Amino acid sequence: MNVIEILEKVGAILKDDHFIGTSGLHLDTYLNKDALYPHTEETSEVCKMFAEKYKDQNIDTVVAPALGGIILSQWTAFHLSKMCEREVAGVYTEKTADGGQVFTRGYDSYINGKNILVLEDNVLTGGSVKKVVDAVKNAGGNIVGVCAMVNRNKEVTSDSIGAPFDALAHFYLPSYKVDDCPMCKSGIPVNMKVGHGKKLLNK
C-alpha cells in the first residue's frame, strides 16, 4: 500500500469542497493529515517508508515541526533506530512569535554537527518546511535530506527549499489565490471544520 492509498483508507483526502490551506491558498481538495495520526499502525507504516528511504544516509537526528510533525519525527526515528541498530534521535521545532521555527528545550544539542533528516507532512508552497530547514542550519546541522509525506506543488524543489528535497508521494492539485478562486466565485462556502478557513477568516 502506498502513501496515497493509506491516506484514502483513513479518510485523510477530502474532495469537492472549499478549503483554505496554511498558506492562505484556496483548494478544492484537502489533505487532512490530522486524520492519519490517530491510526498508529498506518502512521507507523508511513514513517517506516521515510526510514527505508534514508536508512543508508547515516542520519543522526530526525526533525519535523510541531505539532503534527512531532509524530512523524518520533516514529521515523524509531524505525531508523531499529534498521540502523543504533539510536537515531527524533526532535521538533516550535513556532516563534514572528512565525519562524526554532529549537527549544535544549534540542539544538541534537542538531549541531549532526546529520539531519527534515520531515514535513503536506507541502503546498514549501514555506513552512523552509523555516525548519533554516532552523537546522542556524543550529549547525548538516541536512542530508528533506522529505515530505506528500508534495502538492511541482515548483517546490531542492533549490526552493535550500536542501535536497524529495517526497514519498506527489499529489499535484490546483490551488488558488482568493481573487482567482472558482469556489469563491461560485459561492461555495469555506469549510470551517477542516483546514485553516476558520482561523484565517476570523482574523
- Predicted local distance difference test score (pLDDT) of residue 201: 66
pLDDT for residue 200: 65
Average pLDDT, stretch 116-143?
94
Domain residue spans in the chain? 3-193
Contacts of 149 (CB under 8 A, 6+ apart): 3, 33, 46, 50, 72, 119, 120, 121, 122, 167, 168, 169
CA distance 125 to 84: 33
Residue 111 cell numbers, joined: 542538531
Q: Chain-centre distance of CA 109, in angstroms?
A: 23
pLDDT at residue 126, as a whole number? 86
Q: Please, are residues 20 and 197 in contact by the beta-carbon 8 Å criterion?
A: yes
pLDDT above 80: residue 36: yes
Residue 190 has pLDDT above 90, yes or no: yes
Report whether 98 contacts 151 (CB < 8 A).
no
The CATH T-level fold of domain 3-193 is Rossmann fold (3.40.50)
% of the chain at pLDDT higher than 90? 78
pLDDT recorded at residue 24: 87
Query: How many Cα neighbours within 13 Å face the side chain of 174?
Result: 11
Within 10 angstroms of residue 90's Cβ, the number of other Cβ atoms is: 26
Q: Look over the chain and give the mean of its residue pLDDT values, rounded to a whole number.
A: 93
Predicted local confidence at residue 173, as pLDDT: 80
Looking at residue 93, its pLDDT comes to 97
Cell numbers given for 192: 470551517
pLDDT, average across residues 100-113:
96
Least confident of 97-101, 168-172, 198-202: 198-202
Tell me what the mean pLDDT of segment 53-76 comes to: 96
Mind spelling out the 3-state secondary structure of 157-189? CHHHHCCCEEEEEECCCCEECHHHCHHHHCCCC
Report residue 195's pLDDT band, with 50, 70 and 90 as the boundaries: confident
pTM value? 0.88
Backbone φ and ψ for 109, nearest 5 degrees, come out as -70, -20
Give CA separation, 134 vs 15, 161, 162, 187, in Å: 33, 9, 8, 39
Instruction: Name which of 155, 142, 149, 141 is nearest 170 in CA terms.
Output: 149
**CB–CB of 57/144 below 8 Å?**
yes
